[in-house]
Amino acid sequence: MYSRIIGTGSYLPAKTVTNFDLEKIVDTSHDWIVSRSGIHERHMAADNELTSDLALQASINAISAAGISANEIDLIVVATTSPDQIFPSTACILQDKLGIQNGSAAFDIQAVCGGFVYAMNIADLYIRGGQAKTALVVGAEVLSRMLDWNDRTTCVLFGDGAGAVVLRASETPGIVACKLHADGSHRDMLKADGNVRNGVVQGDPFIKMEGQAVFKFAVKVLSEVVEEVLEENNLKGSDISWLIPHQANIRIMEATAKKLGLSMENVVVTVAKHGNTSAASIPLALDTAVRDGRVKAGQNILLEAVGGGFTWGAILIKW
């Protein structure tokens, strides 16, 4: 038994913020942001939009593309670092907003920018193990609310958005292989260490990142994990039709593509328009490439991501 993606969807909040807009509020420049990260603009949620609202729209689009009814979904996994509230989980809120009342499991997973590959792996295992038949896997973030708008080293990088896939049990792959890793000893390189104690926020609730150290770590572990997945499946870089990376930085994506011997023509890049949307970036990029016809039946698709924790992983899909 395998799991197979039968529908993708995404949602971006209406408001866009360009690098030129950011020049007005922080000491930065369009040229610096583009040359260091590849980002031109990002979307930002409206004040009344929650992570679950973004997740809902992306899920509706994925469910519609899959041609199923929401009540067929028997597992919801939401990857997010910016949940609506401390609890309940955004997945439970999403289940309710989708009107699903079949009592099936719904939970969030927290692996920061590595979240979507973690969530997909979990849903794949549920389906392979026979515990679910139709899973909704979502990456959704409103990171704009976790940014210190006086910190130019972080506030120019991130954006809001959501992406979703419907995974269904299938006799044929589908998801061919998943590899996940984590190393908590690097947890201070990228963090928001605030927590609520006795009703008061302790520590720093804003995202802090040692950019250069994260950059070097990301290039190293992503190269390793994509090679690990390909080797175990007797594939070469040239067998991959599309690399769909976490969209943090165009230079990290170029380094991974180079390691695989892939041209950038085979890499789906949305970072220019979305910025870094953390757990949402891969399903947003995947949905873009599915809907514009780049992703086609029979192709080998490789997803990869790295994020705070540190967590990282890769997923090989036969489309």
Residue ranges binding ligand UT7 (CB under 6 A):
28, 32, 36-37, 113, 152-153, 156-157, 211-212, 214-215, 218, 248-249, 252, 276, 306-307
Percentages of the chain per state (helix, strand, coil), in multiples of 5: 40, 30, 30
The pairing of strands 208-209 and 311-318 is: unpaired
Rounded to a whole number of angstroms, the minimum distance from the CB of residue 266 to ligand UT7 is 20
62 Cβ contact list (under 8 Å, min separation 6) = 7, 8, 9, 136, 164, 165, 166, 287
Which of 61, 92, 246, 249 is the catalytic position?
A: 246
Give the Cα separation of 55 and 134 in Å (integer): 17
Rounded to a whole number of angstroms, the minimum distance from the CB of residue 169 to ligand UT7 is 32
Measured from the CB atom, the residue of 116 and 215 that comes closer to ligand UT7 is 215
- Check if the beta carbon of residue 9 is closer than 8 Å to that of residue 61: yes
Tokens standing for 236?
């070469």
Check if 195 is active-site: no
Measured from the CB atom, the residue of 166 and 180 that comes closer to ligand UT7 is 180
Measured from the CB atom, the residue of 36 and 291 that comes closer to ligand UT7 is 36
CA angle 246, 249, 255 (to 5 degrees): 85
Rounded to a whole number of angstroms, the distance between the first and last alpha carbons of the chain is 16
Rounded to a whole number of angstroms, the minimum distance from the CB of residue 44 to ligand UT7 is 17
For the purposes of burial, counting CB atoms within 10 Å of the CB of 111, is it exposed (0-12), middle (13-18) or buried (19 or more)? buried
272 Cβ contact list (under 8 Å, min separation 6) = 38, 39, 40, 41, 250
Which of 113, 178, 249, 274 is the catalytic position?
A: 113
The residue at minimum Cβ distance from ligand UT7 is 211
Check if 178 is active-site: no
Rounded to a whole number of angstroms, the minimum distance from the CB of residue 154 to ligand UT7 is 8
Measured from the CB atom, the residue of 28 and 300 that comes closer to ligand UT7 is 28
Rounded to a whole number of angstroms, the minimum distance from the CB of residue 91 to ligand UT7 is 22
Check if 113 is active-site: yes
Measured from the CB atom, the residue of 153 and 241 that comes closer to ligand UT7 is 153
Active-site positions read 113, 246, 276
